[in-house]
Structures are given as C-alpha cells and as structure tokens.
Amino acid sequence: MKTIYVNPWGGIIPGNYSCSAVTFTQELEKLEYLVFYVLAAERIFATRYNEFKDESLDYIRSLGPKFQESFDHIIAHKGDRLILSGKSYENLPSQMTFSRTVDSFRLYLKNILTEIIQIKPQLLKSGEKEKLDFILDFDDMQELRKALAEKKIESLFYLGFKDICEFFESRVGVKLIDANEDLEKLVLQTRIRNLIVHNSGKINSEFMREFPNYKPLVINGSIRLRYKDLLKENSFILKCVESIDNKITKKFGLSTAVISTDKYGPTSGDSGLR
C-alpha cells in the first residue's frame, strides 16, 4: 500500500517541487507559523491574563511618553482587554496574511511560467510589434530576448486570473485548474484580495454583482476574516499549486527539488482528503 505524506495544511506532498513551488511553500510556511504563533500567544494570555496583564501594561507605557499618554487614554475609555486581546485585531492581520497568500500564488504562476520560457522561449512568439527605441537599448540578441520575455510575462499578470488560465491552456498547453468550482473559488479569492488592498476590505456593488451568492462574515459592510479561515484558504491554494506543479514539471521536465517528508506524518493508502 502506497504511503502518502500530508503537510500541515492537509495537502499531499508530491515528493518533488519546481524551484518556483519551493519558494511558494516556504512563503506559505512563514505565514502559517505566524498564525500559529498568534493563536498560541492568545491562548496563553487568555488563560493567564491576570499574571501577564500588569507586566504587559508596564512594558507598553515604558515605550515613551507619547505611547503612555495614548495608551492610558484608551485604557480609561475602553479597558485593558481591548489592547491585550488578540481578538481585537484578528481581522486586520488575517486580511494582510490572506492577501499575501493570494499574491504568493500569483507570483508562483509568474515564476513557473518564467521557468517554462527558459526552456521553450518560442511559446511567447506572437505578431505583436515592439518599439524600435526599446530594441536599440540592447547590445545582443540574448539580452533582448530575455527582456522581451520579461515584458510579456509582466503584462500577462496584469490581467485577470481567468485570462492567465487561458494563456496557460492555449499557449503553454497546460490547464491550470481542472474543476470549474475550484477556478471560481480562486477568482473569488483574487477579488477579496483586491477589496482588501484597494478598498480596505469593504464590499462594493461591483463585487456583489459578480458574486451575488457570496455569504461571508461581514461587519459594517467589510469582509471579516479569522485565523481559522486562513488555514482553510491556504490548504486549498496549496493543493492547487501541487496539482499545477505536478503537471508542469512532468510536461517540461523542469528541475525539481525534493521536499523532505521527515517532519510530516505519513498515512497509508487513501489520505482521506476530499
């Protein structure tokens, strides 16, 4: 019976990753560790609040007169638990971490395409024209080709996620996402990220028209994310990366790095993941 290794997010370890996927997983690990650290600190502080409260308040006041004045004002009007409870800030770091994860996924796709183009530069061939002054900036054809490839890839990733998927399928010959349900979820994640970055997480009419059935946690018209939501979203994105990476590394014979499975728990046969 085959042994399947599962990472902390529930994704199956494929054994080898492209260089781009290694970079992505390392970034995701850092974000996950931050979440675990915050959850552990919140738990410890909540169960031993009185023990840590005075020491914590004294430390914040020791940061300087301006800090102390502002801090004491908040304590007087809101109470110490507003400052010392991690739940008070959960939405903000959750939004920031979620946005970073979505950006990392997009960067993974850009990096893996760059790896492909290094092997198959003809995939970027098109009838598009280039300005002469741009061409004359380069002394040799190799540097010009490299710059043109970088320019094409950069312009591609200003497009929407479905457009990127269409490029991979039509030009690279790889269907990034097999299930339409998964594709729509990735599009939704991108839209949520855009709301966080460009609209302070506030849901607008354009978003509601595109996703009329979306029922998130919303407070005062803003998307609210929790740490446990991040774990679910990260698990989903990681599974997508593993599937994409497996297809691309096999098709193009990309260099791969073996990910050590020593720190992950094996499970025999069916992983039980759905």
With contact defined as beta carbons under 8 Å apart, do 217 and 226 qualify?
yes
The CA distances from residue 33 to 26, 38, 39, in Å, are 11, 9, 10
Q: Which of 246, 238, 230, 223 is nearest to 273 (CA)?
A: 238
194: how many CB neighbours lie within 10 A of its CB? 14
pLDDT at residue 82, rounded to an integer:
78
Q: What is the pTM of this model?
A: 0.81
Helix (H) or strand (E) holding 77: helix 65-78
- As a whole number of Å, the CA-based R_g of the chain is 23
- Integer Cα distance of 175 and 232 in angstroms: 24
Helix (H) or strand (E) holding 222: strand 222-223
pLDDT at residue 127, rounded to an integer:
58
Tens digit of each residue's pLDDT, the chain (274 residues): 334 455 554 555 555 789 999 999 989 989 988 888 888 888 888 888 888 888 888 888 898 888 888 888 888 888 888 778 777 888 899 999 999 999 999 999 999 999 998 888 887 776 566 565 666 666 777 776 776 777 788 888 999 999 999 999 999 999 999 999 999 999 999 999 999 999 999 998 899 889 888 776 666 688 889 888 888 999 999 999 999 999 999 999 988 776 554 544 444 333 332 2
